[in-house]
Amino acid sequence: MMLRSLSADFLKIRGKGIWLLIILAPLGVVAIEALNFGLRLDYLSKTYADDLWEDSSERRPCSFRSPYI
């Protein structure tokens, strides 16, 4: 019974091009995340070019102080 129901649903969506969307949507998300990472890395590399590998915690005091320290 369940198999007949699933096969009927697959027949309904077969000609609608939803399969293309199912395949392209994850690839689009990965591409957008890669673009976001690349742009952010480029911006941060230019902003902190003089001390790119320096620890930023030494330069700026943290406003949050843990009660356990």
pLDDT, tens digit only, all 69 positions of the chain: 888 888 888 888 777 778 788 889 999 999 999 999 988 888 878 887 777 676 655 555 555 665 665
Q: What is the pLDDT of residue 14?
A: 77
19-37 residues labelled b (16+ CB within 10 A) or e (exposed)? eeeeeeeeeeeeeeeeeee
Cα 39 from Cα 51, distance rounded (Å): 19
